């Protein structure tokens, strides 16, 4: 361990000590007034009273705080929108006073909070040689010494703070090293093909009345996407590899101009709350569309929450997504495309069987109540969806690939058709399924514009 890393450990210990002293944590129970709450993540659906007066399930509160930590924020506000009511800030202390966190949750929060606090108090990076955290004591000098690498390599080891390569050149008070390209930020090429302005102008001129209006890229455009990814389950196998899908989908939606709200490990009650609150977000008024992505285990009934049990299933009904975003319940997205992607099994049957052709049922329903939707599910009814533990699911990875390659010129239903074609040619055991699509016009994403 380097001297700098020891200093960082001491700082983190100090931060954790401060947190624990201020929280007065008890691993068995937590108190809110005189009320005792059972531990979060026990399969018990808890309702938590927040300081702002709202009541919501504990797993949803935990997931919401994780989302804020991902944005490097140590405080968060209640996700529920109430017009004219200010939002009170909530902290880790407030969570611990209301929810008895599991040891794994507590470790996650305290580790991330301490790292965020340390970053604000000192300047440190991981050594490229041994990956231990090293603090730069002198902010004028890019040359940083690592004691651990020096001992391991049996020679003096310095690295460049800027390019993180082994140091070349003058050592003391150096403002640049001798590595080629030092200081030049090298970014991986963006896989998303951008739309050309000429194409957009041509399509609007040619099919303007048949295309959903889209807002031009600007600070005033507030596109939102909700991404729910259930990975860690209490009574069934964890979804190993789902983190790959999460990162891929986040990168795609961000590149398409959406602010992605990612929530992980929700019960059915938590997913319902997430959908209801997402539907009431003020940003939808300044948006032209939205994406909603659910990734979890599933069955013929719906999407599994993380506390699924054999005796009492924790199931979120997909109908709730449409209900929350329909015309009467989501005024901000009225007459705007709402794109839904669901990665989840819908049964236990394999898809690669010969079946007789059948005539699809024509269930139009009340179009004025539920319109402007387009939903693509990862499999047909009663069949399995497949996920690779190393690469992620076939469905999410192929959707991302097709969007990267063709979103600059194809509307959403054509993109979905190409996803289906990809499965027909490469994944014959599974076939995605487009459902409850009520788009009356073509929806072009026009990436980059």
- For residues 37, 39, 44 and 48, what is the CA-based torsion angle, rounded to 10 degrees? 40
CB-based burial, 418-435: b 16+ in 10 Å, e otherwise: bbbebbeeebeebbbbeb
Q: For residues 241 and 393, is the Cβ–Cβ distance under 8 A? A: yes
Residues identified as active-site = 297, 345
**3 state DSSP class of 157:** coil
Contacts of residue 18, Cβ cutoff 8 Å, sequence gap at least 6: none
CA distance 372 to 441: 8
C-alpha distance across the termini of the chain, in Å: 49
Question: Which burial class, exposed, middle or buried, applies to 308 when counting CB atoms under 10 A from its CB (0-12, 13-18, 19+)?
Answer: buried
- Angle (CA) 94-95-96 rounded to 5° is 95
Q: For residues 143 and 158, is the Cβ–Cβ distance under 8 A? A: yes
- 88, 94, 286 from 77: Cα distances, Å: 6, 11, 21
């Amino acid at each position: 361990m380097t001297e700098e890393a020891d200093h960082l450990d001491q700082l983190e210990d100090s931060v954790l000590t401060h947190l624990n002293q201020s929280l007065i944590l008890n691993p068995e129970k937590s108190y809110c007034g005189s009320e005792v709450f059972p531990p979060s993540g026990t399969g018990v659906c808890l309702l938590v009273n927040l300081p702002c007066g709202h009541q919501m399930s504990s797993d949803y509160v935990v997931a919401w705080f994780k989302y804020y930590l991902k944005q490097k924020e140590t405080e968060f506000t209640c996700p529920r929108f109430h017009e004219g009511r200010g939002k009170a800030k909530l902290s880790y202390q407030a969570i611990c006073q209301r929810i008895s966190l599991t040891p794994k949750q507590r470790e996650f929060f305290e580790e991330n909070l301490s790292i965020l606090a340390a970053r604000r108090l000192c300047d440190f990076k991981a050594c490229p040689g041994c990956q231990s955290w090293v603090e730069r004591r002198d902010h004028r000098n890019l040359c940083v010494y690592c004691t651990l690498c020096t001992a391991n390599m049996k020679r003096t080891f310095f690295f460049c703070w800027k390019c993180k390569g082994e140091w070349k050149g003058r050592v003391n008070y150096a403002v640049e090293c001798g590595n080629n390209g030092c200081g030049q930020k090298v970014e991986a090429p963006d896989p998303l093909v951008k739309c050309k302005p000429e194409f957009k102008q041509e399509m609007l001129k040619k099919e303007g009345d048949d295309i959903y209006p889209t807002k031009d890229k600007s600070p005033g455009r507030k596109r939102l996407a909700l991404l729910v990814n259930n990975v860690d389950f209490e009574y069934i196998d964890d979804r190993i590899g789902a983190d790959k899908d999460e990162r891929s989908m986040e990168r795609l939606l961000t590149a398409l101009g959406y602010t992605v709200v990612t929530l992980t490990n929700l019960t059915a009650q938590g997913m319902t709350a997430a959908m209801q609150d997402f539907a009431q977000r003020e940003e939808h008024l300044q948006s032209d569309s939205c994406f909603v992505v659910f990734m979890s285990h599933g069955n013929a009934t719906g999407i599994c929450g993380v506390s699924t049990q054999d005796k009492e299933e924790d199931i979120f009904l997909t109908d709730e997504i449409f209900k929350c975003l329909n015309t009467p319940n989501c005024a901000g997205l009225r007459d705007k495309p709402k794109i839904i992607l669901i990665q989840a099994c819908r049964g236990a049957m394999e898809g690669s069987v010969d079946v007789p052709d059948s005539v699809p049922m024509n269930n139009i329903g009340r179009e004025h109540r539920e319109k402007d939707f387009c939903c693509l599910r990862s499999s047909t009814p009663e069949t399995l969806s497949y996920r690779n533990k190393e690469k992620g699911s076939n469905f999410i990875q192929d959707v991302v690939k097709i969007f990267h390659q063709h979103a600059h010129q194809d509307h959403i239903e054509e993109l979905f058709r190409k996803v289906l074609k990809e499965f027909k040619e490469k994944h014959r055991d599974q076939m995605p399924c487009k459902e409850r699509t009520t788009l009356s016009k073509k929806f072009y994403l026009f990436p980059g514009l």
